[in-house]
């Protein structure tokens, strides 16, 4: 899990960087409009999760995550990351969001150690 943790931490640091906040707000705004069926936005929903799953599953497989659980872990990781980004944008509480991501990473470490 060591490599997975390094990659996950780097991924979180990059996605949660303050200079990307405007892009993230736009992403969530359009995502919400697409979910409501607003014309011109619904195309975003095509692959909004699936396009991220394959590369994350591939990375998890490469880094040693048990193959039979990689797809579920990838989906969970995407959901946790998006949720924490939304939390960070709404609250501005970087310390709490970073701590929550670190907890998620540690839970993955525990899971792998027991597998």
73: containing domain: 2-114
Question: What does the pLDDT profile of the chain (115 residues) look like in tens digits?
Answer: 566 688 889 999 999 999 999 999 999 999 999 999 999 999 999 999 999 999 989 888 887 777 778 899 899 999 999 999 999 999 999 999 999 999 999 988 887 777 6
Distance from C-alpha of 40 to C-alpha of 19, rounded to nearest angstrom: 27
Do 48 and 74 form a contact (C-beta atoms < 8 A)?
A: no
Token reading at 41:
């936005």
Rounded to a whole number of angstroms, the CA Rg of the chain reads 15
Residue 40 class from Cβ within 10 Å (0-12 exposed, 13-18 middle, 19+ buried)? exposed
Task: Indicate the pTM of the whole model.
Answer: 0.88
Structural domain count of the chain:
1
């Amino acid at each position: 899990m060591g490599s997975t943790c390094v990659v996950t931490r780097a991924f979180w640091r990059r996605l949660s960087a303050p200079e990307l906040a405007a892009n993230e707000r736009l992403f969530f705004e359009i995502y919400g409009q697409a979910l409501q069926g607003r014309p011109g936005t619904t195309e975003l929903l095509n692959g909004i999760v699936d396009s991220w799953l394959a590369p994350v599953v591939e990375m998890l497989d490469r880094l040693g995550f048990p193959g039979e659980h990689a797809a579920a872990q990838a989906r969970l990781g995407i959901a946790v990351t998006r949720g924490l980004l939304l939390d960070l944008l709404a609250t501005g509480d970087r310390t709490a969001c970073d701590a929550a991501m670190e907890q998620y990473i540690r839970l993955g470490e525990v899971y792998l150690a027991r597998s």
